[in-house]
Amino acid sequence: MYKILEKRMLTDTIFEMKIEAPRVAKAALPGQFVIVKTTQKGERVPLTISDYDAEAGTVSIVTQAVGKSTMELMTFEEGDSICDFVGPLGCPTDLCTMPEEELKQKNIIFIAGGVGAAPIYPQVKWLKAHGIDCDVIIGARTKNLIILEDQMREVAKNVYISTDDGSYAFNGRVTDLLKKLVEEDGKQYNHAVAIGPMIMMKFAVMMTKGLGIPTVVSLNPIMVDGTGMCGACRVTIGDEVKFACVDGPEFDGFKVNFDEAMRRQTMYRTQEGRAKLKFEEGQTHKNGGCGCGGDK
């Protein structure tokens, strides 16, 4: 059992939890995720790590209550315990393994859409700890859905906010703000990381491609099982078949077939759709799994 040490509501439906999980915290790196089960018979839910503290033995997650399992998790309070907290899973961001001299040459812009600010935060924090400055764009439909702004300002060089409805800061989408920063304000970037809803990442990549900024995206929104066994996060990267949960979740955004991934995401929601995908994709429908033993 894994104890909830802190809980904080960020919006009406988005919440942050700090979990006591020392082995996960000790091994975690930015970009990785965990699988959470609220009860023994609960659904497996992959959630990106939003922060971790190896010394304190804690891991934080930020979640939006959109389905039964995440709504159930939202009812848990400080002092309660969740059944399973398995991880860290997936590959850490390439920024963590990049040679120091190469990393120092990067002028990085992070682009966060909605809850995408959560997986971006540990990357920015890690870079700050290693003496690397970066800029961050956080966008949402309206002011009340902007999250982690204060925490991000503590670790980023510059934080820019955009809201689709103009209720706070820049009036427009994250892509509009990025274009303004580059074309009007003279900002120069040679590396971008975009994390958020699939449609947001698709258009962010279209913008960065036009601006000539190599871009990494995180495909955690399409993950379901988290081990490659369900086939939900099968995605085409260039001319290769990959699985977001075991090969990613981060990939070269210029190579991701977003239209195919979003089509599969929609089809996977129904039993008939899952059966059709399994038939169409044959042996490439699933991956062999990760074999992780979790924090046990």
Q: Is the entire prediction scored with pTM above 0.75? A: yes
Q: Give 66-79 pLDDT, tens digit per residue.
A: 888 899 999 999 99
Confidence bin at 277 (pLDDT 50/70/90): low
What integer is the mean pLDDT of 183-210? 96
Domain boundaries of the chain, sorted by first residue: 2-88, 97-218, 220-284
Q: Which two tokens stand for residue 141?
A: 């439909």
Q: Give 209-261 pLDDT, tens digit per residue.
A: 999 999 999 998 877 766 666 677 888 899 898 888 888 899 999 999 998 88
For residues 227 and 290, the answer to whether their CB atoms sit within 8 Å is yes
What integer is the mean pLDDT of 138-151? 96
For residues 248 and 218, the answer to whether their CB atoms sit within 8 Å is yes
pLDDT over 90, % of the chain: 70
- What does the CA dihedral 18, 91, 123, 256 come to, rounded to 10 degrees? -120
Task: Tell me what pLDDT residue 274 has.
Answer: 57
Helix (H, G, I), strand (E, B) or coil at 50: strand
Q: Give 121-134 pLDDT, tens digit per residue.
A: 999 999 999 999 99
Per the listing, tokens 């190896």 go with: 54
CATH homologous superfamily of domain 2-88? Translation factors (2.40.30.10)
The CATH architecture of the domain made up of 97-218 is 3-Layer(aba) Sandwich (3.40)
Range with the lowest mean pLDDT among 39-48, 49-58, 123-132, 277-286?
A: 277-286
